[in-house]
Amino acid sequence: MGSSSAIRVDSCQAEVRGQPLHANFWWVLTGNATYSLCQWMILVALVKLGSPLMLGQFALGLAIASPVLTFTNLHLRAVQATDARRQYRFSEYLGLRILTTAAGWLFIALIALVGNFDSRTAAIVLAVGLAKAVESFSDLFYGLFQQREDLKRTAVSMILRGLLAVASLAVVLAITKDVFWSAIALMTTWGVVWATYDVRWGRRILEPQPAISGQPLTGAGNPLKPIFDAPKQWSLLRLALPLGVVMLLLALYANVPRYFIQHYMGEESLGAFSAMAYAMVAVTGVAEAMGHSATPRLSRYFAGGQVARFRSLLLKLLGFGIALGAAAVAAASLGGSRILTLLYTPQYAEHAGVFVWLTVAAALTCVAWMLDFGLTAARHFKIQVPMFATALLATAAGCYLLVPRLGMRGAAVSLALGALAHVLLAAAILAWVLIRSAAGGRQVFVPAGSRVLPVVEVEL
């Protein structure tokens, strides 16, 4: 590489210095908590203003669209956030996201058209797919904000998207009594927030800035204009594809129980299970907030050969995840019936046992995600594919054996089994990564002529 590449590395190192981790955590936690609450309120609106069938149709749309678009997103948010050496420009990430999202929605349309659905359900699947496709572009900007450790922008965007989505969906549902138009309202709201907030702040971050030598940090022209460079994007696709497969497996892991419930018990039972499962997103959302806040710093520690700091921060994350999961299981065990009655209706209290098992699965997931953030920060992408495949197989096997006999409880137990497999495998792989790094030393890539600035340590 030439000196211009070295200048970009130096400047990017300087950009992220001095950002307190705890401040980023609280911003992401606030954003995740608000957004998760709003997503749950969407389900409540479907229960209160619609019907169990409407909730089931909406849940089915999510169960079909989410795995497809999760895969085509290629988890570029994480790839971008851990790109400490700035190997790819934002415009290159954006060009790839446009191509893969278009392909993903076309595949969702194919499923809706050839699947064994009535016309109304197929239309709802298409509308939900459009909403999730629009959401994927905000997710790409969140990767940019995360890379620069400016997670306040991510939080504000999530809060705006959540609050406006609840309001628009509830109003449209109350007027039309139609889930299709409610999903269209959701898509429109997310598109407006992306265009008016995410793009505006993304442009400010990416505007040309003077580097140490006086040369511009970014290239001339519009920094948000997508670049369609086949060799470069093929290289990025090859790098990100393992994470895309991982995210597909993770989405299937979460949705496989829903497929079994829909098959054996119908859409109304699917709606009830989805409502209870979503109540636990508040727990995993807290773990996700901490992990996203720490990922850029973990990646710099690992890339810089600072294995001891990497390990210390990761252990703090694990302790946090374990404590959070234990508290959630205790709350569900002691007051599950009251929680379900308060959140939904007294009929849901009949499924308190299912709720406890869902909480166990959420607790194990909190621990597993902390390990996953460590693996992703270390840029070990490919090894995660067999790990998540094994967790998915454990969940699917459990559903195959237990859902016909135990119904929703069997589905919840299967989720917990899959999460346990996830924890054990992730712990083993990460231990191997750390042992190898400590024994052999971490070779750091430094472009010719560059000065890599030291990482500033900020305590939790």
pLDDT (tens digit, 9 = 90+) per residue, 340-350?
888 777 877 88
The CA-atom distances, in angstroms, between 307 and each of 224, 273, 291, 303 are 35, 42, 18, 9
Q: What is the average pLDDT across 284-304?
A: 80
What is the pLDDT at residue 297?
81
Confidence of residue 373 (pLDDT cuts 50, 70, 90): confident
**Among 194, 228, 262, where does a domain finish?**
228
Helix 408-440 vs helix 230-265: crossing angle, to nearest 10: 150
304 and 196 share one domain? no
Ranking 90-99, 198-207, 371-380, 443-452 by mean pLDDT, the lowest is 443-452
45: Cβ–Cβ under 8 A, 6 or more apart, which residues?
Answer: 166, 169, 170, 173
What is the pLDDT at residue 419?
92
Query: Rg of the chain over CA atoms, in angstroms?
Result: 22
Q: Report how many domains make up the chain.
A: 2
Q: What is the average pLDDT across 244-259?
A: 83
String of DSSP letters for 72-109: HHTTHHHHHHT-TT--S-HHHHHHHHHHHHHHHHHHHH
pLDDT (tens digit, 9 = 90+) per residue, 307-324?
888 888 889 999 999 999
pLDDT > 70 fraction of the chain, expressed in percent and rounded: 87
233 within a domain of the structure (yes/no) = no
CA neighbours closer than 13 Å in the CB half-sphere of residue 118: 5
Helices (H), 304-383: 307-343, 352-377
454 within a domain of the structure (yes/no) = no
Q: Is 153 helix (H, G, I), strand (E, B) or coil?
A: helix
What is the pLDDT at residue 442?
44
Which two three-digit tokens encode residue 390? Answer: 């094994």
79 and 168 share one domain? yes
161 and 274 share one domain? no
359 and 266 share one domain? yes
The CA-atom distances, in angstroms, between 239 and each of 22, 67, 102, 273, 363 are 30, 20, 20, 36, 30
**Among 162, 197, 228, where does a domain finish?**
228
**What's the rounded Cα separation, in Å, for the pair 48 and 266?**
20
178 and 281 share one domain? no
346 and 296 share one domain? yes
Confidence of residue 221 (pLDDT cuts 50, 70, 90): low
222 and 252 share one domain? no
**What's the rounded Cα separation, in Å, for the pair 296 and 283?**
22
pLDDT over threshold 90, residue 181 = yes
DSSP 194: I
Average pLDDT value for the chain: 81
255 and 223 share one domain? no
pLDDT (tens digit, 9 = 90+) per residue, 123-170?
999 999 999 999 999 999 998 888 887 888 888 999 999 999 999 999
Confidence of residue 428 (pLDDT cuts 50, 70, 90): very high
**Among 163, 194, 228, where does a domain finish?**
228
Q: For residue 370, give the nearest of 420, 307, 426, 414 by alpha carbon.
A: 426
DSSP 224: T
237 within a domain of the structure (yes/no) = no
pLDDT over threshold 80, residue 12 = no
pTM strictly above 0.85 = no
334 and 220 share one domain? no
pLDDT over threshold 50, residue 81 = yes
368 within a domain of the structure (yes/no) = yes
18 and 154 share one domain? yes
Q: Which residue has the higher pLDDT, 15 or 338?
A: 338
Q: What is the average pLDDT across 101-126?
A: 88
> Using alpha carbons only, what angle is made at residue 79 by residues 386 and 426, rounded to the nearest 5 degrees?
30
Report the Cα 77 to chain-centroid distance in Å.
9
Q: What is the average pLDDT across 30-39?
A: 80
Is the CB of residue 339 less than 8 Å from the CB of residue 305? no
What is the pLDDT at residue 5?
34
Helix 119-147 vs helix 199-206: crossing angle, to nearest 10: 30
The CA-atom distances, in angstroms, between 123 and each of 131, 182, 291, 312, 345 are 13, 12, 36, 50, 29
What is the pLDDT at residue 84?
67
What is the pLDDT at residue 458?
29
Confidence of residue 211 (pLDDT cuts 50, 70, 90): very low
pLDDT (tens digit, 9 = 90+) per residue, 42-65?
888 887 787 778 888 888 888 888
Confidence of residue 171 (pLDDT cuts 50, 70, 90): very high
124: Cβ–Cβ under 8 A, 6 or more apart, which residues?
Answer: 57, 58, 60, 61, 179, 180, 183
What is the pLDDT at residue 22?
67
**CB count in 10 Å sphere of residue 312:** 13
238 within a domain of the structure (yes/no) = no
- Give the range of the structural domain holding residue 250, as residue numbers without chain letter: 245-439
In the chain, the amino acid numbered 31 is G
274 and 400 share one domain? yes
Confidence of residue 208 (pLDDT cuts 50, 70, 90): low
446 within a domain of the structure (yes/no) = no
108 and 161 share one domain? yes
236 within a domain of the structure (yes/no) = no
Confidence of residue 216 (pLDDT cuts 50, 70, 90): very low
What is the pLDDT at residue 264?
86
346 within a domain of the structure (yes/no) = yes
**What's the rounded Cα separation, in Å, for the pair 122 and 131?**
15
